[in-house]
Structure 1
Amino acid sequence: MLPKTDEVRAVITGLIHPNRLGWMFDNVIPFSFGEASFELSVHDGQFNVLVVAKWPDDPATFLNDVGTMVQGCVDSLGFCLATPLRAEILSMSVEGRVLIYRASQWPDLLDGNSSSRVEGERLEPLTSAAINEPLLRLALADLRAAQESAVDTVMLCYRAIESIRQWFAIGSGEGDNDRKRSWQDLRDRLEIDREDLDALRDRAQARRHGGTLPVSFAERLEALRLARRVVEKFVAYRQSTLEAEQSQEEG
């Protein structure tokens, strides 16, 4: 491992999706933040970022920050073309050595199993709920986007939980008391601590209102874990409720 005080030269590589149309920039785009300087080049749907910087204390958060800058440049291209484009970082190499490889999967969110296969008995309740519950589909879509967008992770995780909260509000009004009751139902029935939800809400506030706030990799991980826990408990609660109703009908 390189000393943290040493200035290093690194190359960050990635793809721009959809990558079948050969996206490109005519010129290299220089940018900087902190004491680091960068040069972004895009050709044939691939990008390279040349980096000159001190070795970061938190490489994962550093990659998130770089990814946000790259995505902003790619969004600029997409804006001009009226096309949604997504930048995906694949790896970072330093002094010719690949030190970080970015896969799409988050092993830290899994229970020790990072394979691409999911047992049917685990997947079926989730797919059944997704087919029948529009609010869950919205929550899952937000969590997908939360894993991709560093700057939006916390806000999207909270919005995913808000979609689940809406399920508990079905049939009630939209007044303050109704909202409080639906949040209470979510916390009680899914056994989620209010302190955790409040902390996530406060952290998401700036982005929800159009602002921005630095988010570390650890904070992203914490937000995703909470939102995933809410989704998993909701699916289990919904399944048990349906089974109880079916049992009563048969009885």
Structure 2
Amino acid sequence: MSTIVFHGRVIPERADFNATGSGGNPIQRSIETPFGEIGCHFTILKSVISVRCITNNVEINLETLRNLVVNSLVSVFTDAHGIASGIGYDVEIVSALNVDSGYLRVFGADERIDTTDPFPELAQLVQLAGSDLQLRSAMANFRRSIRMPIETAFYCYRAIEAVKGFFLSMTSGRKDIAAWREMRTALNLQQSTLAEFKVAADQMRHGIIVDQTWGQRKRQMEIAREVVRRFAHFLANDKTRLSSEKFPEY
């Protein structure tokens, strides 16, 4: 049996959010996870979040459990209060401590995906995004895919669709099918790659929540990043088709 304690904050930090059980005791809930049912005790005092999870499974992925704690437990309370009061709260889990082993994990703002292939130099990327709404939208949706793990597929596909939107304008507003074809040709992309998680993204678009493993999310973010990266190089290259030598079919 392992005890894992998550700590975090309700954002914005100037908010004074509180959630406790009767008598100020921790709220007790169980959540269903890929690692089985996990019992949780949590409190939010002055916007400081503390969640204690007890599990018999030692093969737990901390990122996945963190996301489940946020989506199935903590955000239920902040979102319920938010919609009732017209307030937009966010939740940030900062760290996880395995009480039994002493292992401490401090979560960063990044996700552990492959980022070895470079974008244009940062100053040029900022300049390109400043003058191209589709690139700005694609980058923003990629950010949301990291910050909102339960909807990674949706936002990753939105990032890809933002890039497609640029090519829609290049085809004088013709049907989407022409824009997708133009994008694949210009950026050397395979239709099969772009379609890998379209079903999950479409389900989320229509309100059907689909459970995502870390492996699925990682692949989705890497595909979206590569499409946006190629689009940025396309813009930097005066909107001409990318070289298949530097950008082989993906």
Give the drift of 1:63.
2.0
Matches within 5 A, 1:130-209: 130-170=129-169, 172=171, 178-209=175-206
2:67 match: 64
- Taking the aligned partners of 1:53 and 1:180, their CA distance within structure 2 comes to 48
Q: Deviations over 1:100-150 (max 9, x none)?
A: 2211123434339xxxxx99x611222112111112222111111110111
User: 1:199 is paired with a residue of what secondary structure?
Assistant: coil
Unaligned stretches of 5+ residues in structure 2: 242-250
Task: Say which SS state the counterpart of residue 210 (structure 1) adopts.
Answer: coil
- Map Cα deviations across residues 78-116 of structure 1 (whole Å, 9 max, x no partner): 22231211111111112252342211123434339xxxx
For the residue of structure 2 that corresponds to 1:32, the secondary structure is strand
Q: Which residue matches 2:19?
A: 25
2:247 match: none
- 1:12 equivalenced with 2:6 (yes/no): yes
Q: Tell whether the 8 Å contact from 2:20 to 2:42 is kept in structure 1 after alignment.
A: no
Cα 1:162–1:51 change in 2 (3 A) is same
1:111 aligns with 2:116: yes
1:172 Cα deviation from its structure 2 partner: 4.1
SS of 1:147's equivalent? Answer: helix
Q: Deviations over 1:190-245 (max 9, x none)?
A: 1122111111212212111101011111111111111111111101001111699x
Equivalent residue for 2:248? none
> Does residue 123 in structure 1 map to residue 122 in structure 2?
yes
Q: Deviations over 1:31-54 (max 9, x none)?
A: 212321112211111101111112
Q: Distance in 2 between matches of 1:73 and 1:56?
A: 28
Offset, 1:77? 2.2
The one of 212, 220, 225 equivalent to 1:228 is 225
Q: How many residues align?
A: 230
Deviations 1:8-35 (A, max 9, x none): 2221111111111222124343321232
Query: Which whole-Å CA distance do the structure 1 matches of 2:10 and 2:208 have between them?
Result: 26
Please say if 1:49 is aligned against 2:51: yes
Partner of 1:37, secondary structure, is strand
Q: Is the 8 A contact 1:68 1:149 kept in 2?
A: no
User: How far did residue 56 of structure 1 move?
Assistant: 5.0
SS in 1 for 2:195: helix
Tell me if structure 1 keeps the 8 A contact 2:234–2:240. no
Scaled by the length of structure 1, what TM-score is found? 0.83
Name stretches of at least 5 consecutive residues in structure 1 with no aligned partner.
Answer: 1-6, 113-117, 245-251
* SS of alignment partner, residue 74 of structure 1: helix
Partner of 1:4: none
Q: Distance in 2 between matches of 1:218 and 1:41?
A: 30
Query: What SS does structure 1 have at the residue aligned with 2:238?
Result: helix
Q: Please report the TM-score for the alignment, with normalisation by the length of structure 2.
A: 0.84
Identity %: 21
